[in-house]
Structure 1
Amino acid sequence: MFRYIDIRSYFNRVGFAFRALKSPNFRMFFYGQIVSLMGTYIQNLALGWLIYRLTDSPFLLGLVGFAGQIPSLFLTPIAGVYADRVNRRYVLIGSQALSMVMAFTLAALYLTGVLQIWHIILIAVINGVSLAFDTPFRHAFLLEMVGDRDLLQNAIALNSTLINSARFIGPTIGGFIIALLGEGWCFIINGLSFMAVIASLMSMRVKPMNTHHHHGSIFQELAEGLAYSYRNKTIRYLLLLISSIGFIGLPFQVFMPVFARDILHGNSQLLGFLTGSLGAGALVGAFYLASRKSIRSLPKIILVSSILFGIGLFVFSLSSNIAVSLGVIFITGFGMIVLFAATNTLLQHIVDEDKRGRVVALYGLSFMGITPLGSLLLGSISPTFGVQLTLTISGLLCLLAVVLFGRNYGTIAQTVKRFENSH
């Protein structure tokens, strides 16, 4: 009897963690993204390994990371304005199609033996343009997909879950594909994978929520969104924290091939395991958020997860032991995804609907537009200071940012408490 109750309770908790899948639109998107993101992370690993194999240059790793994300610095805020104006689903279909074409182009250049670094940089820039529009539109589109605000928190967490499922599984598969077939097949697989998410988006039937009329210019509405985000102290403090972490912390990912080969003395399979361990930690973090119902504890979760990220990055930078590195990169991944997903959840709950696109664009900018500047900076100084010391400093600066955020913790907690009481 007791065993039956325990088993039933367990399955009820699992079902609760996936409750947003009750929405047919979100369910199609979820399954399509599983396939698409798997291909994306296979390609990301293969591309990083290929660049470092051909050039032995940490700077070029940072440069390609910069090229792939710098368009977001200029385009994401403008994309956020359009996300409050136009049909979000149509733009998402277009951005996914563009990324698919770039994957097949990369594969064709590689397999014909003409691929050069400048090709990779150009393709990274074009993908960056696609991503600059995809991110704010995708986040703003979540509420339209699920159609129920009570499911929004779970949908955001599940979106993070599928991203990090792919981050966990994709690189591990990618490492074996590189060893057996070479990097070119990774690019082909990624191109094919986009077809799944494009099909899911084309099959949806949703009613657009951003139907109010706009009368100002693009730049007037952009200024309005910036002023709104600055005046709201909770939004301002949250964006400052993740922007700081995005600039000085997240660029560590472009140096993973250096740690795999030169510091831990491994090969592409070890790179896959490291990236997979990072994704596994992120996946556990995403499941943790998916199982939560109330947003009241989110300020504390954001604070603790940012501390875990900073400590994890600091210890990882100093480690030369494979087992230790795999363990601390797991913790780093957990802290990273919980910090960003919890921040996204909190922002989407407290933002006014007519400014949702612009605020989530600023959220996306914090790790898409700001991170490439950090990648370029760290890539530039790493030849002088060494990759390990560079990331050690990054970890310490992340912890300093957390300390500054902690001084405003009470303001954020009070805002969340008032929001819950009014809803």
Structure 2
Amino acid sequence: MSIFRSLRHYNYRLFFTGQAISLIGTWMQRVAVSWLVYRLTGSAFLLGLITFLSLIPSLVLAPYAGSYVDRHNKYKILLITQVVLMLQAGALAVMIWFKVYDMFWIAALSLVQGLVNAFDVTARQSLMVNLIDDKEDLPNAIALNSSVFNAARLIGPAVAGVILSTLGEDVCFLINFLSFIAVLGCMLMMKLKITPTEKSKENIWIDLKKGYDYLKSSPDLASMILMMAASSLLVIPFTTLLPVFAKDIFNGTATTFSWFESAAGFGAFFGAIYMATLKASRNLQKIVVFSGTLLAVSVVALAISPSLILALVCTGLASLGLMAQTSSINTYLQTHADDAMRGRTLSYYIMAYQGVLPLGSLLMGYLAHLFGTQVVVAFEGVAGVLIIGAFMLNEKHRQELQRNAVSFN
């Protein structure tokens, strides 16, 4: 079965193409913002704060966004969010072009990005089902979407490293602004047949509670989301501290930082390719455990790496594990959640991943300021091992309860 089988679907092919171009610009902007903040302030805490502001709305708004997306046209929501994100990138470009190095406005624009992303990511994930005519190809489409995201993470930072060293941060922001033209053009060319959702007459917050109750009655989905939340709080924030490794620990430049981001993209890209080759029947829980273990061990190894080369290899392996873990959880949720609850289920996943991550970034940035970056990153890796252990014990207990229930009946 072809690894690119999802691309035979016209709408998904357009979506894939637009995202491939736009995401390169998005990663260039992420690297440029992180480097700009750390170059101007030299503060690991402020680095964590900017990440916090760009992602915290997902924690607060994701469940609401899930209910909202389930009630409205996902395609129109995605069009609007892409336009607003394009304007946000343009505002950053203009500000830095005129050398307005104001941390307040950089923080404010990061917050705007976070607010829009809370709806954008939920709508994009929920729309995926409508882009694929044959639902057997859905797991492959999700994995391919992850692969293009991480291929962009490989290319974007590498290009950003060159541009940051020669032309400056403003050019990175300008390229991101222009890249949105591709995704908007591809979206306008789509031929979608979205069945109108019957709008609930109940209050949207009641719909939100129904999503919560649904997860309570689905322990397999809930355990995946809880593990994602714990990992986002205590393990994944190691990525926020990569500029510190590049600049302070290995005495590097913007180019060195781009190497770390590209190494992360390289590992994650191969993780996504692996996920794309899996058959739909593959045991995703086992992949979650193995990939989470790889992530945790690699993060510990990164913390104690004596050389830049070894640190880059560990960053790549950690990102491979992270990619496989998040992709397998996403695929499991999308393929096991009821159609009527998919948007709300995914919104809780987004809240657990992108919503909890800023809290972790802020916490780990603060702890790195107090105890040192390498000590904190080593702690993150150890925490990852404990999280996987807890998940395995919970799964064993849940399966025993299921067997006992079957035997009783």
Kindly report which structure 2 residues correspond to 1:200-239, keeping only aligned pairs within 5 A, or say none. Answer: 200-209=186-195, 211-239=197-225
Counterpart contact for 1:299–1:412, Cα < 8 Å: no
Alignment correspondent of 2:90: 104
Aligned length in residues: 402
Counterpart contact for 1:71–1:129, Cα < 8 Å: yes
Q: Does 1:118 align with 2:118?
A: no
Q: CA deviation at 1:415?
A: 12
Counterpart contact for 1:70–1:369, Cα < 8 Å: yes
Q: Does 1:316 align with 2:302?
A: yes
Counterpart contact for 2:136–2:280, Cα < 8 Å: no
2:115 alignment partner AA: V
Q: Quickly say closer, same or farther: Cα 1:295–1:247, change in 2 above 3 A.
A: farther
Q: Partners in 1 of 2:282 and 2:239 — Cα distance?
A: 31
Alignment correspondent of 1:189: 175
Where structure 2 has 5 or more consecutive residues not aligned to the other structure, the ranges are 403-409
Alignment correspondent of 2:393: 407
2:164 alignment partner AA: I
- TM-score, normalised to structure 1, is 0.93
Alignment equivalent of 1:307, drawn from 265, 288, 293 = 293
Q: RMSD of the alignment, in Å?
A: 1.6
Q: Deviations over 1:392-412 (max 9, x none)?
A: 111111110100001133477
Counterpart contact for 2:62–2:348, Cα < 8 Å: yes
Alignment correspondent of 1:95: 81
Q: Does 1:291 align with 2:277?
A: yes
Q: Partners in 1 of 2:250 and 2:318 — Cα distance?
A: 18
Q: Does 1:150 align with 2:159?
A: no
Q: Does 1:255 align with 2:267?
A: no
Alignment correspondent of 2:406: none
- Of stretches 38-47 and 315-324 in structure 1, the one that deviates more from structure 2 is 315-324
Question: What secondary structure does 2:266 align onto?
Answer: helix
Q: Deviations over 1:193-242 (max 9, x none)?
A: 01111111122121224623412211101000011112211001101111
Counterpart contact for 1:234–1:411, Cα < 8 Å: no
Q: Does 1:84 align with 2:104?
A: no
Q: Partners in 2 of 1:376 and 1:408 — Cα distance?
A: 29
Kindly report which structure 2 residues correspond to 1:7-406, keeping only aligned pairs within 5 A, or say none. Answer: 16-209=2-195, 211-406=197-392
Question: What secondary structure does 2:251 align onto?
Answer: coil
Where structure 1 has 5 or more consecutive residues not aligned to the other structure, the ranges are 1-12, 417-423
Question: What secondary structure does 1:265 align onto?
Answer: coil
Q: Partners in 2 of 1:411 and 1:196 — Cα distance?
A: 48
Counterpart contact for 1:76–1:136, Cα < 8 Å: yes
Q: CA deviation at 1:147?
A: 2.5
Question: What secondary structure does 1:84 align onto?
Answer: helix
Alignment correspondent of 1:8: none
Q: Quickly say closer, same or farther: Cα 1:299–1:85, change in 2 above 3 A.
A: same
Q: Partners in 2 of 1:401 and 1:114 — Cα distance?
A: 43
Q: Quickly say closer, same or farther: Cα 1:157–1:115, change in 2 above 3 A.
A: same
Q: Partners in 1 of 2:397 and 2:196 — Cα distance?
A: 30
Q: CA deviation at 1:413?
A: 7.7
Q: Quickly say closer, same or farther: Cα 1:289–1:244, change in 2 above 3 A.
A: same
- TM-score, normalised to structure 2, is 0.96
2:111 alignment partner AA: V
Counterpart contact for 1:299–1:413, Cα < 8 Å: no
Q: Partners in 2 of 1:123 and 1:239 — Cα distance?
A: 29
